[in-house]
Structures are given as structure tokens and as C-alpha cells.
Amino acid sequence: MISERETLKAVVQEAVQRQKVTDMHTHLYSPNFGDILLWGVDELLTYHYLVAEVMRWSDIPISDFWGLSKREQANLIWNKLFVEHSPVSEACRGVLTTLQGLGADLSTRNLEQYRERIGQSDRFRQVDEVMRLANVDHIVMTNDPFDDRERAVWLAGTKPDSRFHAALRIDPLLNEFSASKHRLREWGYAIGDEWNEASAGEVRRFLKDWIGRMDPLYMAVSLPPDFAYPEESDRGRIIRDCILPVAREAGIPFAMMIGVKKKVHPALGDAGDFVGQAGMEALEYLLSHYPDNKFIVTMLSRENQHELAVLGRKFRNLMIFGCWWFLNNPVIINEMTRMRLELLGLSIVPQHSDARVLDQLIYKWKHSKEIIAEVLIEKYDDLLRTGWRIDPSEIRRDVADLFRNNFWRFVGRPDLVEDPEE
């Protein structure tokens, strides 16, 4: 039994560092899906977080920046953000942590040297190496049947590496149905001009076809701050008549990522999105009126986090996860993790990487694990000061729940729940 803080600190840090991670939301792909899997130094440097940041230091017209080659963009970002200024932002520090993890000598500041070192690999070997370094054993992808490149991979019958799992992403269906229904018609789904049971049946058939093809762990959508439900809109009707019944029948959760304001600066592309505070009424309605559905939810606004955690206390069909996008900064991860543990105990998924570049797994999990471990140390220390004694095996159990088992239980995959003592 642990009775002293110093012993506690060592046990928690070891448990967290040794614990393998299920990364429940990424934008990565199985290596056999081809070059839609992004990796390497230039992809790290041209990640959209860094594109937005470099525009604050550079006077290059945005259109001219997009006219540069990937390599030229990376050179510009490296010079502006790493050479001409100290790389203290989380996105910049993440690049350095990643390069360090991959064995680069950062004292040289030699970008060409880093390219040469990492470029000697291929995507299959890089997946193995990065997953080893990040201590990640399962990765959940984001899989969009409306994306032509990815669609072709699935239609060819390609099955992902066993470490990679699908998540059926349905943003175009819910957020752009007026355009998406024309594509559904091209693919043989008889969607009418009016919403009726026949059209709803065809959308359900589309969803079931792709669930059968992908075997996804959940269906997912990114939603704006003004998301409302119930609502007599394309999105509201599709959720009511298609998403919820199909998810319930398939036994998979509906994942909602709420609070993104798309393209407030369209010229920046993916770097041009913003954040907005959302109302909680839609989520509250869904949780209370659809108790047989499971919901996985994260929100983008810092201001929504307390309400979301309190809502989690009321509904066990809600799994709260991660520090999404603009919240993936140490000060906010620390705050959110503390608040969630204080309100919900250990019944959450504290983090996901949201990685778009394979190598980012290294820094996303290194940085997050350090913060989560410190929070856990303080919470267990609070218990010690009451006279409660903690066995190291209990800490390892809790850590395994947070980093992998809570997710696998919630999505109904007990076969992937692991006992940390075995």
C-alpha cells in the first residue's frame, strides 16, 4: 500500500508512461491505404496550426503561400517560427518533441538533416516506429465515404491494418445535405427532392452499406456552435430518422464534436476555422430522449466544458472525451482534466490526439501524459491525506481505464479491454 507522496509520484508516473494508449480519434490512416496517410518533416511543418501561426510573422500573400511547393512552405515556416523566433507555441514545441523522439539532433537546427534522417523510412516502417515511440497500440481513423480518394480505397475492398479501426464520418451528410444528396443519387440511392420515408430509407441504406463495409466503432460528425435538436432542418431530420435508429440498431455510438465555426478566414483553408460557444439544449435533449443510444461528445469552446461535465453526471449514455483542437494546450488540458476528474471521477476518456500527421502521435501523447500524470498525482495525494491507502495495482487499473479500457467498454468491445496486471 502507498502511504507517502514521493512513492505515489513514482508509481503514477511509471503507470502512465508504461500504459499503452488507444487513440480514439485521429485523422490518420492504415499504412496500406496509400499516401493519404501523412508523415514526415514537411507534413509536420505545414500542419494547419503552424500555417495560421506563420501568417502572424510573414507578409507573404496567402495565395502566394499556397502556390509554394510543400517543401518551400515548410522552409518558410521553419525559418519564421523556429529560426527567426523561438518556437514556444505548443504547435512548434510539438514539432521539436517529435523530432527529438525520432532521434534528431536539435542542437544543429539543420532542417535538411532532419528530412534526410526521417525520409529514409517508408510509411509502413514509420507506422511501426511511431506507434512504438508513442506507446499507442490502437488508432481510430476518421473515414469519410464522401472523400473520393478514401472512398476508392474502401470500394477496392482494402481492409485496414488490425491496429487501425474505422469511424464513419458523416459531416457532408448532415451539414451539406443539399449537395450531398446529389452524390447519393449518383451512387444509386433514390433520394427524393422532398424528405419522406422513402428518402429516409435510402439514407439509412447508405449508412448501413458503409457500416457493413467499414465496421466502424462509431459514427461521427463535427457540428457548429448553433447546432440545435430537435429541428425541422435537413440535419435534424436525418439525425432523427436515420442516424439515431441506425446507430442504435448497429450498436455503435454517435460521436458529436460541437463548436467549430468553419472558414471564418476561408483563404487559410483548414487553418481558417474558429471556435464558438454552443448551447447545451440539443445534447441534453438527445441524451434524455434517446436513452438507448450512446453518445461520445467533445466540445471546442472552453466555456462549454463545465456544463458538459455536469451533464455527464446525469446521463450514463454519454462518454466525454479529449481536449479537442484549440483546447489541446497544456494549460487547458490541465484545467479540463482536473475539472472532469473532480466531477466525474475516472469515467472519462481524458485525451485523444486528433493527429493529422502520423509523427504527431509522439508529441501529442508525451505532452498529454505528463500533464495527466501530474493531475492524477494530486488527486491520489488528496486521498492519502484523508488516511486512505492506495495499492499500486489500483493505480495501474485506473490508468488503464483512462487511456484505453473506458473507450473499449463504451463502444461494446470487451474483447479489447485489457487487465494491466496480466
Q: What is the mean pLDDT of each run of 10 residues along the chain (422 residues)?
A: 86 98 98 97 97 97 97 98 98 98 96 92 96 98 98 97 98 96 97 95 98 98 98 97 98 98 95 97 98 98 98 98 97 98 98 98 98 98 94 97 98 95 84
The residue behind cell 461520445 is 296
Measured in degrees and rounded to the nearest 5, phi and psi for residue 98 equal -65, -50
Distances (CA, A) of 374 to 9, 353, 396: 8, 19, 15
What does the alpha-carbon distance between residue 305 and residue 311 come to, in Å, rounded to a whole number? 10
> Is the separation of the CB atoms in 142 and 25 below 8 Å?
yes
Among residues 410, 408, 391, which one has the least CA distance to residue 21?
Answer: 408
What does the alpha-carbon distance between residue 324 and residue 258 come to, in Å, rounded to a whole number? 10
Strands 219-223, 168-169: pairing kind: parallel
What does the alpha-carbon distance between residue 329 and residue 403 come to, in Å, rounded to a whole number? 18
**Runs of H (alpha helix) within 156-304:** 171-175, 177-186, 197-214, 234-238, 244-250, 281-289
3-state secondary structure 37-93: CCCCHHHHHCCHHHHHHHCCCCCCCHHHHHHCCHHHHHHHHHHHHHHCCCCCCHHHH
pLDDT at 393: 96
Distances (CA, A) of 38 to 29, 44, 166, 412: 8, 9, 17, 30
pLDDT at 422: 81
pLDDT at 121: 87
> Is the separation of the CB atoms in 299 and 322 below 8 Å?
no
CATH number of 5-416: 3.20.20.140
Say if residue 389 is exposed, middle or buried (CB neighbours under 10 Å; 0-12, 13-18, 19+): exposed
